[in-house]
Amino acid sequence: MLQMVVCVKQVPDTAEVRINPRTNTLVRAGVPAILNPYDAHAVEAAVQLKEKYGGQVTALSMGPPQAEEVLRRALGMGADRAILLSDRAFAGSDTLATSYILAAAIRAIDRETPVDLVFCGKQAIDGDTAQVGPGIAARLGFTQLTYVMAIDGVDLEKRQIQVQRKLEDKREVIRGRLPALLTVVKDLNELRYASLPALIRAARATITTWSKDDLDLDPASIGLKGSPTSVRRIFAPPARPGGELIPGEPRQAAAILVAKLVQTKIIADK
Amino acid sequence: MAERFEVVVVGAGPAGLAAALTLARAGVEVIVFERGEHPGSKNVMGGVLYRHPTEAVVPGFYHQAPLERPVVEQRLWLLTGEAALTLGYKDMVFAGEPFNAFTVLRARFDRWLADQAVAAGALLINETVVEDLLWENERVVGVRTGREGGDVRAEVVVLAEGANSLLTQKAGLKPDGINTNQLAVAVKEIIALPREKIEDRFNLEEGQGCTIELLGEATKGMLGTAFIYTNKDSLSVGVGVLLASLVRRRLNPNDLLEHLKSHPMVRSLLAGGESKEYQGHLIPEGGYQAVPKLYGNGVLVVGDAAMLVNGVHREGSNLALTSGLLAARTILAAREKGDYSEANLAPYRRALEESFVLKDLKKYQGASFFFDQNPQFFTLYPGLLSRAAREFLTVDNVPKRAKQKRILREITAARSRFQIARDLYSLWRVMG
């Protein structure tokens, strides 16, 4: 039996987000909100482990009341219950304050039943910081396993988990002690096509809401007050210089290409 | 075990949502299936929402709903290649409560309407296609969706599936296949423009909106209309023509839209705008004769699926909302009797006949066929009127009486007085 918590975030659909070039801020007005894509894979991972080892999956989100929608999505994918952390006092939290609040909520869940695994997406597609997951792990003192692309297995006896981490050009197989926090990449799994009974159950479910008073929190560490980060500037990275197009007949073009590759010492001259 | 609800609604557009909201408020267990990612994501409606019929479903909706601009002016443009004969009506009474109409972006409005239905207790299931109806003893007893464990049983199924109404066909309420004379195809673009620019170009005060309907060259003389609607910070620009005309002329709807956008009268309104979205959609324009059988044992049809579109007045959302409301009321009455058989659902048709919905469709029942048979109204007359206006307004020291004679000569050379008299008479017969 595994007690699992998945942190999910409601993010603007970046396919439709624009940056205001004058103020350098995201133009979020009218942009539909979706479940952060990496978080969807985190939910799937937790549900798959539940199906294999038994247990319970709690979806956890911090956000405005509308964030209920992504929690319902998690329920439709097989999470057993959902908790929304919603309070005006949380508004303006940066990654430091957010991980503080989420960690406090996980501690509260842990007091009911000890938590074995926490799942997060590797990063949210709006802020792209990838800091909240590790932040929670550090605060809870959980084993921190980031960029997980495969879960080999959980040893319930030894209280260990073995995962594969996605690195730049290789994968790293490591074993860690439970309780652990995993941040996951999309390669980890294929998202399921939810069954109708699951969707109906999710649509009907009541979502528990916790405010700041339900958690053990230092008021100075949450919201704007607890957020030392200030954003100076957001900008799209400069476009990569375009490649070179070699025109002409295939035979000639190939000859030019080879000459260039030799010239840049990518291939050896024979 | 299949899930059980009292009512299944297929399609979360205005018709389906009006039905679901009304039923949920009355305490009926209702589930709505939407094939799109969310309500509003699959439609192209130009975007005029009428206040009166919408209030029948959600009183005072304009205090909360995401609306673009109240429509204070409606313009009609008869286009020729480089000219336009224009007609319009602007009224500041329409600028304030209780309002007459609003421009809307359906992706936002439908979502809001769905939220109202969900808040009233309806269940909304998105991204789920209803593939078939469940039958027992010649009555509809539920639906089959494309998901695992996807059967849902219900006392009654409301089909609000839109113009491409496959389930209505499967229910045996409508002949199979696509009749290109009964369907129009509409393409639309959302073009972003700063709000001050919109207000300047369309001569609007802050926050107010206008609509332009365009005929003639706007559709290359085909039966149909083009439109330009002002949103808050974008324009909805589109063109809709009968599918049969497009096929006959071998034209592509995209080319038609590009043709419209490049017209000198339209071009200047759109200049500097950024195209944000492009959509295409079918509009049922078969009129009164094409309205299917609207009810059966355990099943009702509403909105576009029921062909409830008034092409002449470019009305649709109001007919959809009203049909959803009337369907819900019929279901509530049948629920009292505990019997959803055909006989108890038949009052739905009578309610529509007694309302403006079928009265208007009946009034214009000959229009589509008439204009198809008499293309001169879209091809010949716009040009004649335009040339007459040009002649009359060109100051060249020709005495006015001589000008009038010249105009009359030109017109009668193109079409005899007798033909014109006959055209006007038959036009009045069809439209009057």
Q: Any chain A CB within 8 A of the CB of B83?
A: no
**Nearest-CA residue of chain A relative to B124?**
A203
Contacts of residue A207 in chain B, CB cutoff 8 Å? none
Task: Chain B: give the shortest CA distance to residue A138, in Å.
Answer: 37
Q: Any chain A CB within 8 A of the CB of B9?
A: no
**Do the beta carbons of residue B30 and residue B328 sit within 8 Å?**
no
pLDDT at B368: 78
pLDDT at A175: 95
Predicted model pTM? 0.86
pLDDT at A29: 59
Residue pairs spanning A and B at CB distance below 8 A: 32
**Cβ–Cβ of A196/B38 closer than 8 Å?**
no
Q: Give the one of B38, B124, B150 whose C-beta lies nearest to A196's C-beta.
A: B150
Between the alpha carbon of residue A261 and those of residues A246, A254, B152, B156, B341, the distances in Å are 13, 10, 63, 70, 78
Contacts of residue A196 in chain B, CB cutoff 8 Å? 3, 125, 128, 145, 147-152
Secondary structure of chain A in HEC code, one letter for each residue: CEEEEEECCEEECHHHCEECCCCCCEECCCCCEEECHHHHHHHHHHHHHHHHHCEEEEEEEECCHHHHHHHHHHHHCCCCEEEEECCHHHCCCCHHHHHHHHHHHHHHHHHHCCCCEEEEECCCCCCCCCCHHHHHHHHHCCEEEEEEEEEEEEECCCCEEEEEEECCCCEEEEEEECCEEEEECHHHCCCCCCCHHHHHHHHHCCCEEECHHHCCCCHHHCCCCCCCCCCCCCCCCCCCCCCCCCCCCHHHHHHHHHHHHHHCCCCCCC
Between the two ends of chain B, the Cα-to-Cα distance in Å is 56
Interface residue of A18, A75, A193, A196 to substitute, partner B, most B CBs within 10 Å:
A196
**Cβ–Cβ of B123/A203 closer than 8 Å?**
yes
**Do the beta carbons of residue B103 and residue B68 sit within 8 Å?**
yes
**Cβ–Cβ of B3/A196 closer than 8 Å?**
yes
**Do the beta carbons of residue A4 and residue A118 sit within 8 Å?**
yes
Spell out the residues 6+ positions from residue A235 whose beta carbon is closer than 8 angstroms to its own.
Answer: A19, A24
**Cβ–Cβ of B123/A204 closer than 8 Å?**
yes
pLDDT at B372: 79
**Do the beta carbons of residue A130 and residue A149 sit within 8 Å?**
no
Contacts of residue B148 in chain A, CB cutoff 8 Å? 193, 195-196
Q: Is the peptide bond before A237 cis (omega within 30 degrees of 0)?
A: no
C-alpha B288/C-alpha B422 separation (Å) is 25
Tokens at residue A194, please? 């939810």
pLDDT at B41: 78
Tokens at residue A209, please? 């809401």
A169 residue type, one letter: D
Spell out the residues 6+ positions from residue A206 whose beta carbon is closer than 8 angstroms to its own.
Answer: none
**Cβ–Cβ of A199/B108 closer than 8 Å?**
no
Q: Which of residues 110-139 of B touch A (CB under 8 A)?
A: 123-125, 128
C-alpha B124/C-alpha B255 separation (Å) is 37
**Nearest-CA residue of chain A relative to B39?**
A32
Burial (0-12, 13-18, 19+ Cβ within 10 Å), B418: exposed
- pLDDT for A4-41, tens place per residue? 999 999 988 776 666 665 655 566 656 678 899 999 99
The residue extents of the domains of chain A are 2-221
Residue with tokens 């009911």: A112
Of B105, B21, B116, the closest CA to residue B61 belongs to: B116
Task: Chain A: give the shortest CA distance to residue B110, in Å.
Answer: 13
Q: Any chain A CB within 8 A of the CB of B31?
A: yes
A31 residue type, one letter: V
Task: Chain B: give the shortest CA distance to residue A193, in Å.
Answer: 8
Q: Give the one of A32, A195, A203 whose C-beta lies nearest to B148's C-beta.
A: A195
Of A23, A102, A40, the closest CA to residue A75 belongs to: A40
Between the alpha carbon of residue A106 and those of residues A7, A113, B373, the distances in Å are 10, 10, 72
Q: Left if phi > 0, otherwise alpha if psi is -120 to 50, otherwise beta: which for A265?
A: left
Binding-site residues on chain A for chain B (CB distance < 8 A): 30, 32, 193-197, 199-200, 203-204
Burial (0-12, 13-18, 19+ Cβ within 10 Å), B236: buried
**Cβ–Cβ of B148/A193 closer than 8 Å?**
yes
C-alpha A36/C-alpha B364 separation (Å) is 50
pLDDT at B43: 62
Contacts of residue A197 in chain B, CB cutoff 8 Å? 3, 149
**Cβ–Cβ of B38/A32 closer than 8 Å?**
yes
CATH code of domain A2-221: 3.40.50.620
pLDDT at B382: 87
Task: Chain A: give the shortest CA distance to residue B232, in Å.
Answer: 12
pLDDT at A34: 87
Interface confidence: ipTM more than 0.90: no
- For chain A, residues with pLDDT lower than 70 are 15-31, 270
**Cβ–Cβ of B125/A197 closer than 8 Å?**
no
Of B153, B119, B167, B422, the closest CA to residue B305 belongs to: B167
Interface residue of A195, A199, A201 to substitute, partner B, most B CBs within 10 Å:
A199
pLDDT mean values, one per 10 residues, chain B (432 residues): 91 96 98 92 74 94 95 94 92 94 91 95 96 96 95 97 92 86 89 95 96 92 91 94 89 92 95 88 88 96 94 88 97 96 96 94 86 85 89 90 91 90 88 80
Task: Chain A: give the shortest CA distance to residue B202, in Å.
Answer: 24
